[in-house]
């Protein structure tokens, strides 16, 4: 599946990365704003002046749209890329939405044999403990992961930590950092070849901004 030759389709994650990503595109000179999308339930936003089309999708689904070629580009957290492990190119670290993915447990935690690990990121957790040679049972949750050790559903969690407030307010401590996370610009493999001029220009604009060389519009 390929997108049309006449435009560039970008899969944007709804939710907390959305505003920061949009702001980057805007600063790079693309006329997109939150106002364009406010109060709307539209999932496709066209910017005809720039021949761009934005798809508004769930953060975890961005790599799927890009891998399948229905989007040429996408913005995804490194956590999502590590979890989804899709066949896409990671072309730029946008350095936004910084956080980390870590192992945490109750502050009075004790080592146990074959601990249960609750997480929204079963593949990351599985890979991390396997590489350490530790046998664990992964319990997949969709949110409120910090609750699991409090109520005895799990012994540890693997989750995003940003300010550390959620851990602290729930009596948990960060035990091991698995990876630092920022959002990345990703590209479909064939779009990257077929629309290289277009992508290079967009990348150059964003790279100039992100890496502190000012607005290069």
Ligand X SMILES: Nc1ncnc2c1ncn2[C@@H]1O[C@H](COP(=O)(O)OP(=O)(O)OP(=O)(O)O)[C@@H](O)[C@H]1O
- Positions in the binding site for ligand X (CB under 6 A): 15-17, 58-60, 77, 79-80, 97, 99, 143, 160, 162, 181, 183
10 vs 195 by CB, closer to ligand X? 10
118 contacts 61 by C-beta, under 8 angstroms: no
Token readout for 99 is 């956080």
Q: Out of ligand PRP, ligand X, none, which partner does residue 159 contact, by CB within 5 to 8 A per kind? A: ligand PRP
61 vs 126 by CB, closer to ligand X? 61
DSSP output for 40-91 = ---SEEEEGGGTEEEEEE-GGGHHHHHHTTS-SEEEEEHHHHHHH--S-EEE
Residue nearest to ligand PRP (CB): 143
Largest CA distance in the chain: 60
181 vs 187 by CB, closer to ligand PRP? 181
Q: CB 16 → ligand PRP: shortest distance, Å?
A: 7
Pairing of strands 172-181, 99-106: antiparallel
Location of structure tokens 């601990």? 115
Q: Out of ligand X, ligand PRP, none, which partner does residue 165 contact, by CB within 5 to 8 A per kind? A: ligand PRP
94 vs 195 by CB, closer to ligand X? 94
Q: CB 102 → ligand X: shortest distance, Å?
A: 12
């Amino acid at each position: 599946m390929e997108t049309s030759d006449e435009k560039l389709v970008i899969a944007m994650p709804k939710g907390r990365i959305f505003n920061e990503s949009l702001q980057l595109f805007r600063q790079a000179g693309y006329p997109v704003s939150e106002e364009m999308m406010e109060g709307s339930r539209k999932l496709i936003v066209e910017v005809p002046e720039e021949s761009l089309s934005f798809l508004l999708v769930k953060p975890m689904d961005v790599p799927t749209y890009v891998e399948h070629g229905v989007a040429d580009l996408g913005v995804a957290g490194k956590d999502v890329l590590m979890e989804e492990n899709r066949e896409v190119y990671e072309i730029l670290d946008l350095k936004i939405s910084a956080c980390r993915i870590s192992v945490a447990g109750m502050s009075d935690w004790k080592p146990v044999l074959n601990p249960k690990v609750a997480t929204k990121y079963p593949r990351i957790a599985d890979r991390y403990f396997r590489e350490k040679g530790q046998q664990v049972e992964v319990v997949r949750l969709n949110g409120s992961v910090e609750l699991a050790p409090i109520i005895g559903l799990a012994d540890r969690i693997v989750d995003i930590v940003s300010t550390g407030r959620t851990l602290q307010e729930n009596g948990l401590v960060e035990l091991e950092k698995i990876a630092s996370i920022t959002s990345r610009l990703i590209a479909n493999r064939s779009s990257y070849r077929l629309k290289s001029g277009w992508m290079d220009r967009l990348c150059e604009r964003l790279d100039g901004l992100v890496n502190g060389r000012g607005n290069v519009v």
